[in-house]
Structure 1
């Protein structure tokens, strides 16, 4: 199979007008140049250079290959320049996957600001309760919240986020405050189903103690706003992200439970398929996301 290196080698021979001059230009011996030319001719099954004449002459086939080859080399060079510009410039397509609630509340506004700043970047944002699964079509960026289990994706930190246990004042008045994680097993609970996680296993830690509670939720939804509303209406205890309930906690519509116990953190991260060589548009969008939560995430400013 002919490649661009073969064409470039043949073009150097034509420019040099002799195998000896070609050897000097390439830093090779004359015999090495001859052997490489012979290998190329054997690979193609045709003679490219007539070496029996006094001066080096190309056969018709060799001349044709050189003439067409110049265009091919120029096209490859142009393609590489375009790729370089796309990597280091703000052009091209940016495909983003994000969770429903967080995507609507925080990612959408960054997308709008990014588009205004870089109008030559076409953006497609997909919201899903399973953004990791939805990203199977090679999205450029996946916004993920929570633990990242086995994955070949590269994680980039965006913002801090804790998980909390919450219930409404009316629910607490009816059932009382749980004093220990084990008490949760006797209370109605509501679960958020996302990222194919085990939503019925709640793990809490206090100092050196870890308690795992297997819940039996009375309600399950794949939409965080729905389970938050159910909790506000007093239907059960929810485990939720602080970004999602900071406003209703500040308003007193929900109250935190078991403050001495901590759930695993669920930090906000951006996931990419590679660490190095990311297009500038992808890196710039991640920087804009990170800047939105500096110096403090909005859910911690209340």
Structure 2
């Protein structure tokens, strides 16, 4: 594991999207961060980062390598944190924001492990679609499904998943299974939408072919758990986050519609203020979440 430190440096550069931000987070000279990534690229004989573009981006090979290596780095970080936790108990109040619909699936277990390991810690969770201000709203750590564009933020990608079109077997028992995206117009369609939104569009791709046609859903709900319940009872076809429906698809409770056509991928990011940095309390909790999401 001669290049383990270089892998860890690359993972941090990829997560923050910047050599400078990674150097600050790792408390390393900028030149050392750049050199270690270059050494890793030379060892692998592939280009991991496209340095010619602003902001910094991963190459296709770099994205694939990051997806594989980041899980190992997260596991090692969690192992170190778990061992330190045997000697160090954290205390204080941690304030976090999390996106709706994914709270139970992605955060309840890490919160449980965290407060069991650190009984003097207190966690305050605000479920919000909106990106809150770290200073004005007194937020320590934010988890978002849309990458923030604000400067001076450290952004760490935790998870990538995609949405799926689903229907219940009871619905398909009386409606023909669509074979092509155009046939969706013949079905009852349920959508994730808001009051000001009259129409939505499912962005479907298969290889280099894409399909997107705006439609007005029969039922629109701005809550994926409620939308999932409507789909399960056979109301119609709807779009769900893969994380919410994977067990139902595996058990046959739901059926994936047009499985060869893919909806866009969605990422989960951990975000915190770069100038302030993370407290030990917040970093310990982030390690718990990272270890949990690595299992998906």
In the superposition, the TM-score normalised over structure 2's length comes to: 0.61
Q: CA RMSD in A?
A: 2.9
Give the aligned partner of residue 53 of structure 2: none
Shift of 1:276: 7.0
Please list the CA deviations of residues 33-61 of structure 1 after superposition, one character each: whole Å capped at 9, or x if unmatched: xxxxxxxxxxxxxxxxxxxxxxxxxxxxx
Matches within 5 A, 1:108-257: 108-128=108-128, 130-132=129-131, 137-145=137-145, 147-148=146-147, 150-152=149-151, 153-193=153-193, 200-257=200-257
Give the aligned partner of residue 42 of structure 2: none
SS in 2 for 1:92: strand
Unpaired runs of 5+ residues, structure 1, are 1-87, 298-302
Larger deviation: 152-161 or 169-178? Answer: 152-161
Runs of 4+ off more than 3 Å: 88-92, 133-136, 147-154, 196-199
CA distance in 1, matches of 2:198, 2:143: 20
> What is the total number of aligned residue pairs between the two structures?
206
Give the aligned partner of residue 94 of structure 1: 94
Give the aligned partner of residue 51 of structure 1: none
Shift of 1:199: 7.4
SS in 2 for 1:201: coil
Give the aligned partner of residue 273 of structure 1: 273
- Cα 1:293–1:267 change in 2 (3 A) is same
CA distance in 1, matches of 2:225, 2:93: 30
Give the aligned partner of residue 61 of structure 1: none
- Cα 1:213–1:104 change in 2 (3 A) is same
Please list the CA deviations of residues 96-147 of structure 1 after superposition, one character each: whole Å capped at 9, or x if unmatched: 112343212331221121122223332101224x1436977242222223x4
SS in 1 for 2:266: coil
CA distance in 1, matches of 2:198, 2:96: 25
Shift of 1:150: 4.4
8 Å Cα contact 1:144-1:271 kept in structure 2: yes
Shift of 1:289: 0.7
Establish whether residue 293 from structure 1 lines up as the match of residue 293 from structure 2: yes
Shift of 1:200: 1.1
- Cα 1:291–1:198 change in 2 (3 A) is farther
SS in 1 for 2:203: strand
Give the aligned partner of residue 45 of structure 2: none
Please list the CA deviations of residues 218-269 of structure 1 after superposition, one character each: whole Å capped at 9, or x if unmatched: 1122322211111011111111111101222122121001111111111222
Shift of 1:95: 0.9
SS in 2 for 1:259: coil
- Cα 1:219–1:154 change in 2 (3 A) is farther
Which is greater in Rg? 1
SS in 2 for 1:104: helix
Larger deviation: 165-174 or 271-280? Answer: 271-280
- Cα 1:186–1:271 change in 2 (3 A) is farther
8 Å Cα contact 2:190-2:217 kept in structure 1: yes
